[in-house]
Structure 1
């Protein structure tokens, strides 16, 4: 059933207002992982803080205005890279990947095993729902494309779920029906699906919202305060228990804690669409004063929420004019629509058959898809240019023909000799298409990362030494001097014990037994070496820096470790922790030229997770600094 232009604008305005109000309410307490006992969010809200929940959507709107409904993930990625500086968590890994030529959809999952299910993309769902009123499948398609820039799995499902709800909220007022619409478009049995189902069940069985919160954390909790499953659980909880009351909904989301700027903003945005701006109380409207606070580089006519709503509606109506009969009626004559040109050109897309990385003696398989959007066949030459010295490709140049409105896929392979001893982290390769009879070429770039060669100098363990309780009977026959049963079944390692001469290991020529080629920051020892029980690894790697500079050394560890840089101990921790990629950090100085790192790593539990990376140091905390991508790895 169609809705009028006035209703459409009012609901979009209400949605964006809810987004701003909820974000301002939750931002001052985000990251607190306990019940937040604040009786009135208005006492703490801060309307002067920019919010990434909204900033990136303003950028997406700008991209839509320029390119129209046929936008690709790479259009969003390119705008982000050039206009949004945020390097936090999964955003930072996206920027690191994109800078190295790894494009969507792989940019969200490669080298991002901890934050790939964060809230960074579900909070960007509104724009896709708002420009797709009553078109949930379109909203879902846009949302999934957006989400894969910097996320995977349940985070993608989360953005899709919310975008579908926001699309249907223009026509459907019942929250239960909206939740069912969202669930229909995410994988049945996924963690997010099960969490949302559980929240609805808790509500139906009359549990209090705090009891429901406890169940969410019991069954789906995660130590990362931004993890999407628990937080989307809180959003659904707040909507159900909030009784269609904006103030109560925000208050409940706030009290649940964790990623409060996201949960408060997303819940209030959904409710804002359901209610419409005209049905939100004046005392709440006055809190925000119709003002946006922006933290990134976007060009806007003004910073009013109403203007944002009008521009969003203009995009939605313009897409409607191109794609289908009107679901929005009574459009005033003064409303101008945007007309975009159809693609009508050649498109090149690179896909990786495994991972986008290569090592000495290794290979990287990838595909090149050429799509012809023209109405006539395309003939010309495809060439690979700018290959790093010593890299070999099966296909360097080929004459190709692509029929009108069809595509071809070329399979290719990059290979490196085993003796290759210098490989850059970032390796950008050009694909050049030159149409027959023309001189001008179309060039796109893609990247293949160099793997870090980690030399393994020794893997050690020793039998557990533990005295049996002399007051207990012995398990062994009389006269036998044997270890205790515990010692027979277990081993131990210690950070303080030297299993080889560590002062000699710090010298450059110390022998090694094997090389682990690491495509990501995480060094996957357990996958390569299947021996079980406690072990101590000694390993080293060498990197080349083109300049002397201070950098952040950022370490993720699950157990004890020592790190030496050029014979100096720079970081040591004797601890067992849940792995995150930023458990420990230190400011170190790389010299111009070769820098040698030696690592001593312990595994005292069943698994060992260890990662190491380098971020820029510009006098600020590493969380606000980009990852370094211009290092060279040496054998």
Structure 2
């Protein structure tokens, strides 16, 4: 299930897919101890790393430097900090990548949104879902069908859940960002609307474009082409590219983005897409 790409050998393609999978797990493990944005603000993480003499950060988080920090970390931290990582903790970010692969292996690229929902009910424990996914799961169990599963009693429709489910659609569409976006959209509309769906489409396209793009900026531009240009997600990503082009330093860019997306919350798709873009460009 691959598209024609600039990756010239099967070995090269497999290596890049493996890199995407390992990167997904490594990034998840890196952030998991502090995955509580209202507690672990950027300023607090900076203080933590300074207290542990771990700046610039070039590895997983160090063990907590104080008892207060230890109490504030997620309980899984002992399996996610430097020197203690031996594989991946269970996490919904990783669950959905595996579930998405199972979906594609079972139904192929022609899968339907209804089949995504059926697979959730069959393979995904309810208590391992959160926010928009839990609302959609509850709606499925109560007999609702898409798109009502995304809109009924679901205040999380533009949060980041669909975006974190999107990687696999990029991995199976190397060099084909529009196909990746189309697959991600069918998955996303089970639980999300608006920028929540656009974020999934953008993320899948970004992964797909990364296989063949010459630069990170080229991949970002290709991914932008699959979502409405007037959407807040697209406008925010373009804002990040303009800040980068202007030569604004990394810290100032993050501060600007934090100010301009204030009020959306740390789990909303738009500020997360902004930080992803900044991380790629800087």
Normalising to structure 2: TM-score of the pair?
0.81
Distance 1:49 1:206 in 2: 38
Segment of structure 1 superposing worse, 85-94 or 175-184: 85-94
Partner of 1:162: 203
Partner of 1:111: 153
User: Would you say the 8 A contact 2:198–2:233 is kept in 1?
Assistant: yes
Q: Which runs of 4+ in 1 moved over 6 A?
A: none
1:244-283 alignment, distance < 5 Å: none
Shift of 1:84: 1.1
Shift of 1:145: 0.8
Distance 1:205 1:21 in 2: 31
Partner of 2:255: 214
User: Would you say the 8 A contact 2:109–2:183 is kept in 1?
Assistant: no
Partner of 2:107: 67
Match status 1:11 vs 2:16 = yes
Shift of 1:202: 0.9
Secondary structure of the corresponding residue to residue 69 of structure 1:
helix
Q: Which runs of 5 or more residues in structure 2 are unaligned?
A: 50-54, 64-79
RMSD of aligned Cα (Å):
1.6
Match status 1:50 vs 2:90 = yes
Distance 2:257 2:152 in 1: 28
User: Would you say the 8 A contact 2:100–2:165 is kept in 1?
Assistant: no
Distance 1:17 1:130 in 2: 12
Match status 1:133 vs 2:138 = no
1:510-529 alignment, distance < 5 Å: none
Distance 2:94 2:263 in 1: 25
Partner of 2:161: 120
User: Would you say the 8 A contact 1:73–1:104 is kept in 2?
Assistant: yes
Shift of 1:10: 0.6
Partner of 1:184: 225
Secondary structure of the corresponding residue to residue 109 of structure 2:
coil
User: Would you say the 8 A contact 1:165–1:179 is kept in 2?
Assistant: yes
Distance 1:73 1:81 in 2: 13
Partner of 1:314: none
User: Normalized per residue, which structure has more strand?
Assistant: 1
User: Would you say the 8 A contact 1:74–1:103 is kept in 2?
Assistant: yes
Partner of 1:87: 129
Partner of 1:303: none
User: Normalized per residue, which structure has more helix?
Assistant: 2
Distance 2:231 2:105 in 1: 35
Partner of 2:267: 226
Shift of 1:192: 0.7
Distance 2:12 2:212 in 1: 10
Partner of 1:387: none
Shift of 1:67: 2.0
Q: Is the radius of gyration larger for structure 1 or structure 2? A: 1
Shift of 1:223: 5.0
User: Would you say the 8 A contact 1:122–1:155 is kept in 2?
Assistant: yes
Distance 1:19 1:82 in 2: 24
Normalising to structure 1: TM-score of the pair?
0.37
Distance 1:183 1:15 in 2: 20
Residues 109 and 19 from structure 1, CA distance in 2 versus in 1: closer, same or farther, beyond 3 angstroms? Answer: same
Q: Which runs of 5 or more residues in structure 1 are unaligned?
A: 242-635
1:279-294 alignment, distance < 5 Å: none
User: Would you say the 8 A contact 2:132–2:191 is kept in 1?
Assistant: yes
